[in-house]
Structure 1
Amino acid sequence: MHAFRSSLAALGLALCAFGAHAFDVVDERGVAVNLPQPPQRIVTLLPSLSESVCALGACDRLVGVDRYSNSPAQLKALPQLGGGIDPNVEAIVALKPDAVLLAKSSRVTQRLEALGLKVLVLEPKSHADVRRVLDKLDQVLGTHEAPKVWRVIDAGVSAAAQSLPASAKGLRVYFEVNSTPYAAGESSFIGETLARLGVKNIVPASLGPFPKLNPEYVVRANPDLIMVSVRSAQGLEQRPGWGGIRAVREGRICRFSAEESDVLVRPGPRMDEAARLMAQCLGDKGKR
């Protein structure tokens, strides 16, 4: 019995030593970040990263988030650290995180590193990026959940596509990200979802993922259907020349709530839900 207990103790020590083994993670800057062990106190400064950490089963490791991270609901109880681009550095440091996850566009990366924090730059912008970031977070967290999470996302997008009536296939769609207007082009993750749903984006990949458009461009393109957030839809019909657009003339405008828009504009584990929202819009408004 004593020998058995000794063996168990030795095994436990070995597992602890294995769990504490340092490892390197290469982020999107190409920088190798050395982590002494999977981080247990994490700050995220991009909603899609917050949602991805939670989807991988590590929500309880989050100790602070940016002001826009609001899903799942439990994130709303965490310290809000300002915007992702220019967050409150002092508040981040005070939380003593083992790792800070943020976007390339953040202005505080070097400052946080200079203060001794481990910083990982991860920013998904396409379907392939979402899968890659999930795999990278799986490595960081040691959760081994990414393949399953991705299968659910991918299957959900496929199911949304299969749910569409034949009449909706091939519709020419304009997806407005905000009223500037910035649009989601073919090369964006939103454009990739639209393509999988079998509809045509009026904004070609050549214009970039999220181009700022001249409003006359949309008038000339004359989309069959418009997808827009209620945040930027006010006065859409009154924009110069827009009254003649087929989608406006025939009332084929889907106005997504603020909560739905959050789902639609975040490249992360809720892309399957985004596909279902788009499919529902196409099914409701796309009948010809």
Structure 2
Amino acid sequence: MNRLALLGVLWLVAVGAAWAGSSPDLQTGAQTHTARRVVTLSPAMAKLVCAAGGCDHLVGVADYTQTPAQAAKVQTISNGYSIDYEALALVRPDLVLALEPYTTAQTIDRLRRLGLRVEALKLDRLADIAPALRRLGAWMGTADVADRAAEDFARRLQVLQKRYRTATPIKVLIQFGLHPVWTVNRDNILSEAAGVCGGENVFASLPRIAEPVGMEALLMVRPDAIVYGNYQSAAQMQAFWSRLPDAPVVQNGALIPVDIGVIGEAAPPILDGIAHLCTALDRVRAQRNP
């Protein structure tokens, strides 16, 4: 049997596989088959699936899926730019989970034309995470676990929001890279995460979600703290900002490394990243008001 014929048979098997029960879709109320073989097209989606009780359902994940450990061992199906359709056929998924807009509409359409069930979630805000967990639980037949996870996430987020609601504002620059420096506006979930802690994104009003910014703009905003990805070394950051000796952030030593894989992804572990950031910003406040 040649390769194309084999792929055709595999697609028929994937599409025609027996479904194990059904459950109501939380948006439409229609009956949907319970998914047992799930592929995720982003690392954040794999975290959500596992939090919703579906780690054992995973048969394919995206590149850079490093946590949870069980998900990291699953076969890689996509690299963020393209999908290995042969590998996808071999794992016979009954549900493919996409994250909008990172999975393009063209890719989603192609997967659906191949006969696969594709569900796309949009996770722009912290408030999107708990409902996403509930939907995943309904799709995978793990509603009990997913509902508890959603309730726990909402409760922990509310505790953090309440604690820092009246905190003294801190002007925060969210920095990616050095030459040039990139930052994000208010529509990025990192900006919202900083806001939970009383951090005010100094570039919140940028027209695009991510943009490079020049040295003149950095001097004008005078941030009190820099939040940067921990893939950048502290020595590199110190050397960069030492060129701006009058900047408050240099005087306060407020360079705060964060794990972008935790605080930059819309999944339950983001709350651990936010708690870490809040503690760091508390130290900045203490230095400003000894």
| TM-score, normalisation: structure 1 | 0.78
Give the one of 68, 73, 77 matched to 1:77.
73
Aligned to 1:269: 268
Count of aligned residue pairs for this structure pair: 261
What are the Cα deviations for residues 145-168 of structure 1, in whole angstroms up to 9, with x where unaligned?
44432332233234445666x8x6
8 Å contact kept, 1:131–1:150:
yes
CA contact (8 A) 1:185 1:210 kept: yes
Letter in 1 for 2:21: A
- In structure 1, the partner of 2:109 is 110
Q: Is the deviation greater in 66-75 or in 114-123?
A: 114-123
Q: CA deviation at 1:266?
A: 0.4
Q: Does 1:140 align with 2:142?
A: no
Residues 1:209 and 1:129: Cα distance change in structure 2 (over 3 Å): farther
Letter paired with 1:59: C
Deviations 1:214-264 (A, max 9, x none): 3432221010011101324563344485443211233110123xxx22101
Task: Give the corresponding residue for 1:224.
Answer: 224
- Show the counterpart of 1:235: 236
Matched, 1:59 2:52: no
Q: Which runs of 5+ in 2 are unaligned?
A: 1-18
Which has the larger share of strand? 2
In 2, distance between residues paired with 1:154 and 1:204? 25
Greater shift in the superposed pair: 116-125 or 263-272: 116-125
1:157 aligns with 2:157: yes
Whole-angstrom CA distance in 1 between matches of 2:207 and 2:76? 35
Secondary structure of the corresponding residue to residue 227 of structure 1: strand
**1:119-153: per-residue Cα shift (whole Å, max 9, x none)?**
12223111222233223223312322444323322
Summarize the alignment of residues 156-175 of structure 1 with structure 2, pairs less than 5 Å apart.
156-160=156-160, 169-175=168-174
Q: Is 1:101 matched up with 2:97?
A: yes
Q: Which amino acid aligns with 1:214?
A: G
| Alignment match, 1:188 | 188
Give the drift of 1:19: 6.1
**234-243 or 136-145: which moved more?**
234-243
Could you tell me whether the CA contact under 8 Å between 2:24 and 2:31 is conserved in 1?
yes
Secondary structure of the 2:267 match is coil
Query: TM-score normalised to the size of structure 2?
Result: 0.77
> Partner residue of 2:198?
198
Q: CA deviation at 1:272?
A: 1.4
Gaps of 5+ in 1: 1-17, 27-31
Residues 138 and 146 in structure 1, CA contact (< 8 A), matched pair in contact too: yes
Letter in 1 for 2:75: P
